[in-house]
Amino acid sequence: MDPLFLDDKEMMYEAEGALDEMRRWMSQWTRRLAEIEMFLEGLTLEEKSAYAQLFSQLYGCEWLGAQTYAALAAVPSEAKYSDDEQAYWLHRAGEKLKRSRLLKEIIEMEQPPAEFHPQLVQFGNDVRNEGVLGKCLAVPFFLDSVVLPAIYERVAETTSISLFRETIRQFLEEENRSLEPVIPFLKERIQQAPGEERQKGRMLFDRWLPQLDQVISAQRDAAAYVGMDVDDIKAKVLQAFQKMSRKIRLI
């Protein structure tokens, strides 16, 4: 909808509200990136390597509509916690897990949060022993985030998630487009992948497709409301990601 034709005052208020929301979103994102950079500076080389993998997962999930920015809540100043603090964050993580459809096979939805702790710890240990994303248990904001679905994919899906990340990054950076035509492009890239990776890629694609459609629709709606081009919106977010990626590559 062209903002010039929004004669109705109520519709104009909606358009202004959408613009304000977008400005708040960008402001929060910039602040969170700064917090992440400060957080990384205080880690050991081993920890930096582990968290770089996690950021890589986040980077891929963002373009697939997983609302990565919501995962980047205020980063704690330290990665280590007392037993009481750990229990608190595990409780919070349990609440998130309780509402997660992806993890319902691991934690039964009807169980009270207090019973989540030992199961959550065991699940974290299992992932840690496989050398993937287990260290996320040390930092609560990862638990409280979209990384949980990525953890659920575990070792078997790591390659396919990498395929998604590289595919969409190439599409957005090299071709400088919005997300709208990415679905056929992604299908083509998955089809060209080796056999096992192609099969895993298809499974992930089927899982993320509804969310990707929602993101595309939301982009169109936001652009229509505030009179901005979708590519302009995407360019701002991509610039923030590039800044974060450069920081991680220096680790």
What is the predicted pLDDT for the residue at 193? 72
Single-letter code of the amino acid located at 16: E
- Amino acid in position 13: Y
Query: Could you tell me where the DSSP H helices lie in 64-193?
Result: 68-71, 83-98, 116-129, 140-143, 147-174, 182-192
Element (H, E) at 242: helix 230-249
The 3-state DSSP composition of the chain as helix, strand, coil percent (nearest 5) reads: 75, 0, 25
Per-residue pLDDT of the chain (251 residues; tens, 9 = 90+): 333 333 344 444 444 554 454 445 445 544 554 554 455 455 555 544 444 444 444 433 332 222 222 232 223 333 334 444 444 444 444 444 333 333 333 333 333 333 333 444 444 444 334 332 323 322 223 333 333 333 333 323 334 445 544 554 554 454 444 445 556 666 676 677 777 767 766 766 666 565 555 545 544 544 444 444 545 544 544 444 444 344 333 32
- 3-class DSSP state for residue 179? coil
Which pLDDT score, from 0 to 100, does residue 194 have?
Answer: 72
What are the angstrom distances between the C-alpha of 186 and each of 47, 50, 101, 197, 203?
Answer: 32, 27, 25, 13, 13
pTM: 0.25
Token pair of 94, please? 């349990």
CA 162 – CA 204 distance, rounded (Å): 11
